[in-house]
Amino acid sequence: MRNEVRYLKSEETVTTASSKDKLNFLQKIQNLWSKLVNLVFANPEEIEVVQKSDRQGNTYWQVYDPASGKSFCSGSESDVLAWIEYLYKYR
pTM of the full predicted structure?
Answer: 0.53
pLDDT per position as a tens digit, 4-51 = 555 555 555 544 557 788 888 988 999 888 888 877 877 778 889 999
Q: Is 74 helix (H, G, I), strand (E, B) or coil?
A: strand
In the chain, where does DSSP find H-type helix?
Answer: 10-41, 77-89
Domain range for 32 is: 7-42
| Length of the chain (residues) | 91
Same domain, 68 and 86: yes
Same domain, 21 and 54: no
Structural domain contains residue 15: yes
